Amino acid sequence: MGKWAWTERKFNFDYPAAKWPDLMERVRGTPARIEERVRGLSKDVLTRRENGKGWSIQENIGHLIDLEDIHLRRIEEILADKAVLVAADMTNRKTHEADHNAKDIRALCAELRAERDRLLAQFEALHEADWGKSALHPRLQQPMRIVDIAYFTAEHDDYHLARVRELIRLFS
């Protein structure tokens, strides 16, 4: 899926911080959308890579799990008044080494739901004024507020959900 690489995307974080309830619904809904998409798929479909490249459906799901810690860490950094947020590992080493294809899809979905619940708890513990606090995003070179972390997470989820849908279409 080289149509529009994630790393080529630009973001305008120019909406009000009060948008957070809408964004929370998108973030909250990802595990259910994933579970719905993979229900009934064979292990072969779940673990197949397009032309032997890219990630399989399970690896796309595992990648979302692998990134939950960076969202949590960035929220903590903003609340601690850090000037610059931790950079993501753009090589995705954690995902490449995790062997998500060896896992049972139900266990993988349960892990995504548990990790997402941790992130949601962090978001839900925020005070209204926290949503507008920010620090510099190192790759984008622009301030990122906590509300933007919710947006960024939702957009990244949707990016991988679209990839999962494409792989299902190709292999089913």
How far is the C-alpha of 37 from the C-alpha of 165, rounded, in Å? 7
Instruction: Give the domains, in start order, of the chain with CATH numbers.
Output: 15-171 (1.20.120.450)
Full-model pTM: 0.94
Output the tens digit of pLDDT for each of the chain's 172 residues: 445 677 777 888 999 999 999 999 999 999 999 999 999 999 999 999 998 889 999 999 999 999 999 999 999 999 999 999 999 999 999 999 999 999 999 999 999 999 999 999 999 999 999 999 999 999 999 999 999 999 999 999 999 999 999 999 999 8
Q: How far apart are CA 145 and CA 134, in angstroms?
A: 4
* E strand intervals along the chain: 134-137, 142-145
